[in-house]
Structure 1
Amino acid sequence: MATNSAFIDTPTLPLSPETKLLAAFKNDTHPDKVYLAGREYLGEDGQISVLPLTWKIKQQIGGDPTLGTEYPPSLGVLEFTRRVTELALGKDSQAIVENRVLGVQTVGLTGAVRLGTELLRRWYSRSVAWSGPVYVPLPCHDSLVDTLKAAGILDVRQYRYWNAEQRVVSTDKLTEDLEQAPEHSVVILSASAHCPTGADLSQQDWTALAEVMARRRLLPFFLLPAQGLCLGDPDQDAWPLRHYASLGLEFLCAQSFSHSFTLYGERVGHLLLVLKQNSVLLAVQSQAESLVRSLWARPTVLGARVVATVLGNPANLAEWRDAIRGLAERCLLIREQLLEKLRLLGTPGRWDHLTQQGGLFCCTGLNAEQVRFLARKRHLYLLPDGCMNVTAINRQNLDYVAESIYLALTSAL
């Protein structure tokens, strides 16, 4: 009889940088410690913010005896997929009118990326035996590359997105890299609120990039993780998708509603596919449904019902638009306040990029040594690349954060 576990030879993987950082923060006993590397939208009290509308709709759904507990369809709650498709593309989208759009409810943004990648690996450009590559922005979150590789895409390449010296999007390098990409490559693009930099392409940049994508026969795979939270207007944040759809381009889009509806625990995501012709829609839908059955079988219901209820009711929709605008305006206000504090302190360098970025995340431009100084000497925890969640800054810690950044740049490290 065997005495050892069948898993006795399983190696222990190293902790992710985020896990290590959070553990260090939790073990820190300093009263002024600040964790600036979280992913959730935090309110002024430092706690995860929940929209009052979301809370109200949840209570209504919980008290509605007519709502059943049966499993939803594999592709998701139908009203949810319809409403979020319209939210992304606009109700008058020609692609919707011509029935060239497939929507699938997923387990968060990661689930949407995974499902989309699985579809691509099996069925994209079968006539040319496509097996990659997939291009991702540099920088991007590590989990994005891990998800692509878990779906069987081993040829993952990077295109230069961020100019760390000037602290802006490197549009020239981005274009140069994609001009050299092989035909039929898939390119992951952040439609708005790029993570982790918070810096986005302009509409002029998107227009120029569309020409490159079409000429080089590259397939866009958009990420839309927080629609409305970047510019305060869901329509403006979705402009790149709507523009590409208007040009007749085919693309995929992974949507998440964690930030924009403060539904973090419900993992409400959506995969959107805009096709060139509706003759392939049913075939792609059948393949997506087969993949869903092997990945998570059926999605969850509550979060999808919340989103559908908000988007399907004019009064709720107006309230949500006002709320999301308020969240975005607070992000901008925090950036402006931090910029002014750094200016008053005489902090070396230019910091205008703080207010030129949008959404929750911000790339400060601090280097790895300065980030280590902040953690070691000031008990401020940022990601190793100097990026942070601006909503972790509030009235109570704003002065301390600004002073700490000043010291990181002026003290002998």
Structure 2
Amino acid sequence: MSFFDSVELGPPIEVFQLTKQYTEDDFPQKVNLGVGAYRTDDGKPWVLPVVRTAEKALANDDSLNKEYLPVLGLDLFSVLSTKMLLGSDSVPLAENRAFGVQVLSGTGALRVGAEFLAKRLGKTVFYFSKPTWENHRLVFLNAGFQEAREYRYWHEANRALDLEGFLEDLNNAPEGAVVILHACAHNPTGCDPTQEQWGQIAKVVKERKLFPFFDSAYQGFASGDLNKDAWAVRFFVNQGFEIFCAQSYAKNFGLYNERTGNLVVVSNNLANVAAVKSQITLIIRGNYSNPPSHGARIVAYVLSNKELNDQWGENIKTMSSRIIQMRKRLREELEALGTPGSWNHITDQIGMFSYTGLNEAQSLHMVQKHHIYMLKSGRISMCGITPNNVQYVAKSIHETLTSLPAKY
């Protein structure tokens, strides 16, 4: 007899299971297109040079210690992060109506923000894109939301944004519902709305009195341009919206395991800021108490130093340009082989991921026959494609679609 006898085995997390399978596979041409982490042309993890510089400087600073940070984190980190997102000319920043809170990467920002909305504002319904990052649903439900709803996003036949379905679903949302919006480099499709389409989305969000919760995991990483990748968030703020935004430094600083993130809050009433901060403080205190300092100090050190900030800008251009180049190469290889279907969506998409259009049967075939590890949804991480394996990946996709044409 055990207290735990009634516990059922939970389903595996697909992306981590894929990585385990990849690691244990001894096939010489195996390729990991599942994990969402940057890789060099050699397929290796990359610690950004500017991060190495910052770490060495911080290690040699004897004034630093290992004392607790405040519950809301390192203030300089949050101030600089919020400014990076909203822009130096942000009106809410100038009026002290916007602030940031250091949290445990983007996931922690989503969780803290969602818990505040559910437990302090009584929000029960949230919307996420179909498809979306698989953790959105779990995080919001665990934070206290009661109902998860999808809005249409990906048009399978056109391999593009389903704007009509997107707007129709938001139009049918109950007043006050929370809607999760990807700031840029939509995960998993890599398909973002145009600026004109963002305008139409904002119009419906305002009419239906929905609360926009942005997820910004790729600022700078997507296009290499920090301002371009923050356009949607700044547009909503300039339209007068109150928002939450989850910022992550996993991708654009390569601080995957340092769990470095920022929750940005924009209010239309300065008088509410102190109360909101106090309630977020209590949520964090009852969860993980206070955040780790290492990653936040790295980011703050770089963002507060013009020379290092410029170097970081070059680092993110290196990463984004390599991914863009691999998109181009993959499309060229597929088209040269005469692979069934059109492949312009590979280069139309942006950011770390691509929705290839392969269905579940085809994706499983890629794993089982070709040892190319990808999600069953057809999503691939473009970072896993290198000059050394792009031809093999293209030939494998070609063989798969030739072998399983009826399911294409």
TM-score, normalising length: structure 1: 0.96
- Bigger mean CA offset, 107-116 vs 41-50: 41-50
Q: Which amino acid aligns with 1:410?
A: T
**Distance in structure 2 (CA, Å) of the matches to 1:221 and 1:134:** 10
Report the counterpart of residue 91 of structure 2 in structure 1.
94
Q: What is the CA-CA distance between 1:354 and the residue it aligns to? A: 0.6
Identity of aligned residues (%): 37
Report the counterpart of residue 23 of structure 1 in structure 2.
20
Deviations 1:41-75 (A, max 9, x none): 11112121111111111111111111122111100
**Distance in structure 2 (CA, Å) of the matches to 1:304 and 1:253:** 17
Q: What is the CA-CA distance between 1:308 and the residue it aligns to? A: 0.7
1:370 and 2:362 matched: yes
1:167 and 2:159 matched: yes
Match of 1:228 among 220, 225, 235: 220
Match of 1:270 among 262, 269, 273: 262
Q: What does 1:4-403 correspond to in 2, within 5 Å? A: 4-124=1-121, 130-403=122-395
Report the counterpart of residue 127 of structure 1 in structure 2.
none
SS in 2 for 1:295: coil
Q: What is the CA-CA distance between 1:131 and the residue it aligns to? A: 3.5
Q: Which amino acid aligns with 1:109?
A: G
SS in 1 for 2:175: coil
SS in 2 for 1:223: strand
Q: Which amino acid aligns with 1:91?
A: S
Tell me if the contact between 2:362 and 2:400 (Cα under 8 Å) persists in the aligned partners: yes
Q: What is the CA-CA distance between 1:305 and the residue it aligns to? A: 0.6
Q: Which amino acid aligns with 2:226?
A: P
Q: What is the CA-CA distance between 1:6 and the residue it aligns to? A: 3.0
Q: What is the CA-CA distance between 1:226 and the residue it aligns to? A: 1.4
Q: What is the CA-CA distance between 1:412 and the residue it aligns to? A: 4.7
**Distance in structure 2 (CA, Å) of the matches to 1:87 and 1:258:** 16
**Distance in structure 1 (CA, Å) of the matches to 2:187 and 2:9:** 28
**Distance in structure 2 (CA, Å) of the matches to 1:131 and 1:324:** 37
Tell me if the contact between 2:182 and 2:216 (Cα under 8 Å) persists in the aligned partners: yes
**Distance in structure 1 (CA, Å) of the matches to 2:9 and 2:368:** 27
Q: Which amino acid aligns with 2:104?
A: V
Q: Which amino acid aligns with 2:327?
A: R
**Distance in structure 1 (CA, Å) of the matches to 2:263 and 2:390:** 38
**Distance in structure 1 (CA, Å) of the matches to 2:226 and 2:321:** 13
TM-score, normalising length: structure 2: 0.97
**Distance in structure 2 (CA, Å) of the matches to 1:113 and 1:54:** 25
Q: Which runs of 5+ in 1 are unaligned?
A: 125-129
Count of residues paired in the alignment: 405
- Bigger mean CA offset, 106-115 vs 43-52: 43-52
Tell me if the contact between 2:93 and 2:99 (Cα under 8 Å) persists in the aligned partners: no
Which stretches of structure 1, 4 residues or more, deviate above 4 A after TM superposition?
Answer: none
Deviations 1:113-154 (A, max 9, x none): 010011101222xxxxx4421001110122111111111112
SS in 1 for 2:312: helix
Deviations 1:373-397 (A, max 9, x none): 1111111111011001101011211
Q: What is the CA-CA distance between 1:252 and the residue it aligns to? A: 0.5
**Distance in structure 2 (CA, Å) of the matches to 1:343 and 1:20:** 31
